Structure 1
């Protein structure tokens, strides 16, 4: 739709049918779009290495899932989060349940990029942590995270997706350990 409008504007403008004043600017059309950079930047200003950890994690998108994997040849969920934090001097255990005991617990409403997000395993009715990811973005009540999933390897998902929402167990803040080093 946008391409058609732009092509029409260019076409009519080239024949002098439209005056430059009548063409709406992109900024006028996007005035109601919320921006999220200020909150993100202020958090990154407090702990600058968070941006580096997340950037490093993103560099490994699409690496395959491998049970027990801790290298770029393949990761399991806790192997991936451990790999990412280890690059920046934070040692995490190689178990999602054990990672659920590291750092400080955080309410979902206070989640920030860099926090670990924890889930039940395959059974939504279980009571044990069986999966972990790394929060990359928080916009309102939408939490985006990167993780190594058995059905897709390293990828993004959202907490509000039914599968993850039903299995959500908690959030742990471990990035403060980066600042203490």
Structure 2
């Protein structure tokens, strides 16, 4: 339990998690770990904190695949396309995502950019910033202030990190989807 508390505290600090209401505190009570100081109506936030170690595992697993080449339609370590990569990472933890970035844009629920958390899917328009169709997906790995870092399989570099604040991604940004609730139900 102490390890879980330390990991939670470390991740909360390193991801710059802040809440307008109150700062959650982790307390150890016998054999359970509880998150206090979070109003009852924010049950999703409570369950997010309970999922932090599992979200960290998914992100850690994704990081193990950095530099694997891009492959159209790819779903294995021999090469991934963007949705094949996010699908592969979540499937390893028992969560089934569709193999299409547009279809992954319908999984979970939408969250505002300001509410983004590690583990969320980040969706973009395809090659044309003028279109409206989702054509690319990645997984958020870090949120510090208003900077969102994500891992994805890009056609020009394979599995790599990028930041939402880069002009290319800002122009193509569509939405963020919270799928970490699916981790809790596994």
The number of aligned residues is 147
Gaps of 5+ in 2: 1-12, 19-25, 27-44
* Structure of larger gyration radius: 1
Deviations 1:36-86 (A, max 9, x none): 35639x887421210000000000000000000000000000000000000
Gaps of 5+ in 1: 1-34
For 2:143, the equivalent position in structure 1 comes to 138
SS across alignment from 2:17: helix
Tell me, yes or no, if structure 1 residue 36 matches structure 2 residue 36.
no
For 1:159, the equivalent position in structure 2 comes to 164
- Give the structure-1-normalised TM-score: 0.77
1:149 and 1:173 map into 2 onto residues whose CA distance is: 21
Q: CA deviation at 1:180?
A: 1.3
* Maintained 8 Å contact 2:141/2:150: yes
1:106-145 equivalence runs, <5 A: 106-145=111-150
1:10-25 equivalence runs, <5 A: none
Deviations 1:125-172 (A, max 9, x none): 001000000000000000000000000000000000000000000000
Higher relative strand content:
2
**Measured at CA, do residues 117 and 37 of structure 1 come closer, stay the same or move farther in structure 2, by a change above 3 Å?**
closer
